[in-house]
Amino acid sequence: MTTQAVNKKDSHKLGMRASENIYQTIICFLLALLAATMVLPFLYVIVISFTDASVYESGTFYLWPQKWSTEAYSLILKGQGFLNALKATVFITFVGTPINVIANAGLAYMLSKDDLPGRKMINRLVMFTMLFGAGMIPNFIIMRNLGLINSWFANILPSTCGAWTVMVMKSFFSELPRDLEEAAEIDGCGTFRMFVQIILPLSLAMLATFTLFAFVSYWNCYFSAIIYLTDTSKQPLQVYLSKIVLSTDISEVVDMDSDLKNKVPQEVMRMACLVVVVLPILVIYPFMQKYFAKGVMVGAVKG
């Protein structure tokens, strides 16, 4: 009698487990399908970019290059157009990122002090920039008046101080324990030293996140480049890539010898260029992933 009851219960549980397994399988399958749409295009582009011209032109498509070739890459990397664009992007990214983080962190730290006179007003002014923007033409006119047209600083400075970044950093700073600051103050620690030696080291994870965000946004800058940089030799990688992908004859953009022109199919060159431009993002992405999933984003919603 009792064993029967137990068996019945077990079989019921088993049934539950089976339906639960089916449920899990369906969900995992759907998610895997979604993830596949994000991985497969890259896989396709990477494979084609390494495929030898003769195999590509035969028209058959393989998931693995039948004959490897790095010719497309060597053509792209040697072109003067690429070198110019790389120089621009490297300057914008590596000069812009520190300026961005320092300006945001400084302002955020200032606003994190509750009893700072004028805090409320400055806070409102920062928030207002999130709500209302002047638009493209006034920004362009100001940039021209400032003499920043065709300067890489035109790509760096306007996006440097973001209201959202300041707000998230501010809420992070105001959650830091006050005792440490008070103790340091009693020991005669000045404002700057406090900021550099106590506050910043305590917020390394948050700073790392925003450093990487800034890095990505500068590496990806396109809009500000086409507006403020009219000199083609100063335009960054994203503009270069868009030109290669959109133009019908890429030999002018790449700036390569005319006898090499027909050696590698244009489509393969385009894909090689995309891989080169996206590579830094793919390389730093795993490091970012570690930070942003928790902490900072949650603070953003609460703040």
Partner 1 sequence: MTAIWEGLTSALGNFFSYIVVAVSALVLLYIILYVLFLKFRHDAAKRMRRYRLLYILGIPGMLILLLFNYLPMGSLFMAFEDYDPWKGLGASPFVGFKHFARLFADAKFYQMLRNTLTISLLSLVTFPAPIILALLLNEVRSSAFKKTIQTTVYLPHFLSWTIVVSLTFFLLSSEQGLVNKLIISMGGTKRAFLFDKSIIYLIIVIQGVWKGVGWGSIVYLAAIAGIDQGLYEAAKIDGANKFQSIIHITLPCILPTVAVMLILKMGSIISVDFEQVLLMTNALVKEKLDVFEVYIYENGVKSGSTEFSYTTAIGMFKSVISTILVLTTNRIVSSNGMKGII
* Binding of partner 1 by 24 (CB under 8 A): yes
Say whether residue 110 binds partner 1 (CB under 8 A).
yes
Closest CA to 171 of 252, 114, 97, 218: 114
Q: Is 7 or 191 the residue whose CB approaches partner 1 more closely?
A: 191
Question: Which ranges constitute the DSSP H helices of the chain?
Answer: 2-49, 53-57, 71-78, 80-111, 119-131, 136-145, 153-156, 163-174, 178-186, 191-193, 200-202, 204-219, 223-228, 237-246, 251-254, 266-292, 296-302
Q: How far apart are CA 216 and CA 289, in angstroms?
A: 13
Residue 279 near partner 1 by CB under 8 A: no
Smaller CB distance to partner 1: residue 7 or 134? 134
Residue 36 or residue 204: which is nearer to partner 1 going by CB? 36
In the block, which residue shows the tokens 């590496």? 219
Determine which residue in the list 191, 197, 232, 262 makes contact with partner 1, applying CB under 8 A: 191
Residue from 3, 5, 132, 177 binding partner 1 (CB under 8 A):
132
**Which residues from 212-231 bind partner 1, rule CB under 8 A?**
216, 219-220, 222-223, 227, 230
Rule CB under 8 A: say whether 180 interacts with partner 1. Answer: no
Instruction: Give the shortest CB-267-to-partner 1 separation in angstroms.
Output: 4
* Residues in Cβ contact with 161 at an 8 Å cutoff, skipping those fewer than 6 apart: 100, 103, 104, 107
Indicate whether 107 belongs to the interface with partner 1 (CB under 8 A).
yes
CB of 200 or CB of 260, closer to partner 1: 200
Look at phi and psi of residue 147 and say left if phi exceeds 0, alpha if psi is from -120 to 50, else beta: left
Output the smallest distance, CB 1 to partner 1, in A. 27
